[in-house]
Amino acid sequence: MLSPEQFSRLIEYANYSSHKLVDLLGEFQPPDGIFVKHLSEDQQTIDFEGFQHFVEVYFGADLPTDLVEQLFLSFSKQSKERRLSSFEEAITNVRNKLNGLNPISERLKPTTEEKTYEGVRIPLKPLVCYLSLLEAASPENKLEVVFHVYDSDANGFLDKAEIEGIIEQMMTVARYQHWDTIELEPIIRQMMSDIDLDSDGIVSLEEWKRGGLTTIPLLVLLGFDTLQLDDLKEDGAHVWRLRHFSKPTYCNVCCSALVSWNGKQGLSCGMCKYTAHERCVRNATNRCIRTFSARQCERLSHHWIDANAPSKCAAKCGSSIAVFQGKRCRWCNRHAHNKCLPSISDACDMGELKYHVLPPTHIFPAFLERKNVKQQHVSNLLQAVQPRNNTRPLLVFVNPKSGGRQGVRVLRKFEYMLNPRQVYDLSKVGPEAGLNLFANIPNCNVLVCGGDGTIGWVLDAMDKIDYETSKRPPVAILPLGTGNDLARCLRWGGGYENENLTKILHNIEKAMPIYMDRWQIKIEQKKKSDKGDPPPYNIINNYFSIGVDASIAHRFHVMREKYPEKFNSRMRNKLWYFELGTTETLSSTCKNLHEQIDIL
């Protein structure tokens, strides 16, 4: 098995290689391919000498012998499922090492083996597929590599036998990810059948690419989309953040108080509030909440954590609970003595905020349930469905850059109060991801935490989704911007002043939806020789400006993108507007603008 250091070296070689896998596949084809003599009669396996020749040609360098031998052994000794696990663990360890963290597994050390490879052969397809992980290629290119690898007869089509090999690889990935595979195989077969658009029994390269890029997560199911797989694998792991505590707090690992030279300080999980000293975090139980389930179910169990602060028991006794004398549920935030736990129902009702929370039992891999799912959203890795009880799950978008940069704190609070899958950081991902996840939930609300520009961005993204007129979710606003004019008009306030977020969520629960007029605008350029940026949106939400104030707003946006550290408070932002407005008044860059514009 490859060690993290060896895998890291392999990545470096791949980055500097001038060859691509798709270019070398032809060299395995008889009669003139340079690797043909090393293949078995069925052309499915390759010997050590051929393997060594192949990797040297691919990487364009003489690789260290120990690295070549270890890579060869990783394919010759293990089953398919274990081999996938080895590569996934190696990739995770390399990433952790690059981020300054310790490897998660000590099992990835090279083992001492007798270096005799006579008669030993390794399968060719997994070798080429896993090496494709090293290439920084687009999904389209990776799909092409996989297609050519499984196209054994190189006729440009995948026949029934070749498709069976692909289905077998998908099932291996599913078992490794611990997905519910009872109904998965017929679903995958149906998905592979859907790729064959002309229903002629074979799949062309064009059909394969179209299916993989539009409607079916082929790279995920085959185990080659490591980013999305990592997102699933990290579910249930703690997300540690350094935190200063204002109240006495105790370590969940060693049970002693959190004290440091600059006060009460420790690491706290942002998802479940499990707390530990920095020195204790390696020994912490890695049992955080699961944000989604293997398949849909109606019942959610409590997620109990040792209560590391005094509290009151939610059972009949109602008495106080001393530190570490009881448990706390992450979802409903109820506390109970250890002796009182048997008297509490195992089913969790999500507590005070159940109206807004989307339970993890109603989020599951999209390809495990094809019924009642809109075709345009099948490509999502996860899908959500409406809970049966009388609730309206809340989809939250937070822009940390807005206004006084309060968004980071708001984002972290909502991630703990709700299911983290409901909360999206707009500095990392656009609104489309969240809107697609909630596309099959007819009764939901949307909360936009940001300024007027952020609201316009989210509304524009919602316009592109084919909602039924009565099913479009209402939008609430938590004003984090500088002016917040739209929030003022809709009576959500002129700015967030660190109010209690639970109270704001209760206000959203009681709010009645109203309809807001939005206007479409069309801008035409009379002189084709004139140059300028196109308008970002063609819909007006509250106002549209041309001239002095538009120039000031644009300059403010450019400055904030370039120097974000200078825009860290709402008052400071207003001073910037004042400075830019004064400069614009003196320079008069928009003088005689009325002579150049016609309004129809």
Q: Tens digits of per-residue pLDDT, 310-335?
A: 999 998 888 999 999 999 999 999 99
Q: What percent of the chain has pLDDT over 90?
A: 24
**Cis before residue 534, ω within 30 degrees of 0?**
no
Is 102:282 a contact under the CB 8 Å cutoff?
yes
- Maximum CA extent, the chain: 86
Please state the rounded mean pLDDT for residues 215-226: 57
Torsion of CA 146, 147, 149, 152, to 10 degrees: 160
CB contact set of 224 (below 8 Å; sequence gap of 6+): 129, 132, 133, 142, 146
Give the mean model confidence (pLDDT) for residues 51-71. Answer: 75
Phi, psi at 312, each rounded to 5°: -115, 145
Which two tokens mark 200? 């002629």
Mean pLDDT of the chain: 78
CA-to-CA dists, residue 159 to 41, 127, 198, 211, 350, angstroms: 20, 21, 14, 16, 49
Task: Give the model's confidence band at 16: pLDDT under 50 very low, under 70 low, under 90 confident, else very high.
Answer: very low
Mean pLDDT: which of 30-34, 96-100, 265-269, 354-358 is highest?
A: 354-358
User: Which residue, 425, 447, 357, 317, is CA-closest to 326?
Assistant: 317
Give the model confidence (pLDDT) of 177-216 as tens digits: 666 666 677 777 877 887 888 888 899 988 888 777 665 5
Q: 292-304: per-residue pLDDT in tens? A: 887 778 889 999 9
Number of continuous H segments (helices) and E segments (strands) in the chain:
19, 20
Tell me the residue type at 133: L
Q: pLDDT-based confidence at 100, cuts 50/70/90?
A: very low
Cβ neighbours of residue 85 under 8 Å, at least 6 residues apart? 176
Coil, helix or strand at residue 407: helix
Map residue 397 onto helix, strand or coil: strand
Cβ atoms of residues 196 and 180 within 8 Å = no
The arithmetic mean of pLDDT across residues 367-385, rounded, is: 56
Cα-Cα-Cα-Cα torsion 206, 211, 213, 216, nearest 10 degrees, comes to -160
| Distance, C-alpha 592 to centroid of its chain | 49
Answer whether 35's CB lies under 8 Å from 28's CB. Answer: yes
- The angle, 0 to 180 degrees and rounded to 10, between the axes of the packed helices 226-233 and 80-98 is 90
Retrieve residue 103's tokens: 């490897």
Cα 358 to Cα 414: distance, rounded to the nearest angstrom: 13
Max mean pLDDT range (5-19, 329-343, 524-538): 329-343
Q: Which residues contact 239 (CB under 8 A, 6 or more apart)?
A: 269, 270, 271, 288
Report pLDDT digits (tens) over 456-482. 899 999 988 888 777 899 999 999 887
3-class DSSP assignment, residue 558: helix
Quickly state the pLDDT bin for 95 (edges 50, 70, 90).
Answer: very low
Q: Is 296 within 8 Å of 369 (Cβ atoms)?
A: yes
Per-residue CA distances from 471 to 206, 286, 496 (Å): 36, 40, 29
Q: Which residues pair with 424 in a beta bridge?
A: 397
Q: Are 125 and 165 in contact (CB under 8 A)?
A: yes
Mean pLDDT of 567-584: 80
User: Encoding tokens for residue 119?
Assistant: 């008669």
The pLDDT value recorded for residue 17 is 43
Q: With a cut of 80, say whether residue 346 has pLDDT above it.
A: yes
Quickly state the pLDDT bin for 355 (edges 50, 70, 90).
Answer: very high
What per-residue confidence (pLDDT) applies to 289? 92
| Cβ count near 264 (within 10 Å) | 15
Residues 398-417: tens digit of each pLDDT: 998 876 668 889 999 999 99
Q: Calculate what percentage of the chain has a pLDDT beyond 70.
A: 75
| pLDDT score at 271 | 92
pLDDT at 507 over 60: yes
In this predicted structure, what is the pLDDT of residue 22? 59
**In terms of pLDDT, which residue wins out, 269 or 172?**
269
Find out whether 581 and 552 touch, Cβ atoms under 8 Å: yes
Cα distances (Å, whole numbers) of residue 574 to 484, 546, 568: 12, 20, 11
Mean pLDDT of 531-555: 78
Q: Which of 223-227, 273-277, 546-550 has the lowest mean pLDDT?
A: 223-227
CB-CB contact of 543 with 489 (8 Å)? no
Q: Which of 156-160, 220-224, 329-333, 389-393 has the highest average model confidence (pLDDT)?
A: 329-333
Q: Cα–Cα distance between 258 and 264 in angstroms, integer?
A: 5
In the predicted structure, residue 439 carries a pLDDT above the cut 70: yes
User: Tokens 């968004």, residue?
Assistant: 407
Contact 27, 33 (CB under 8 A): yes
Output the pTM of the full model.
0.66
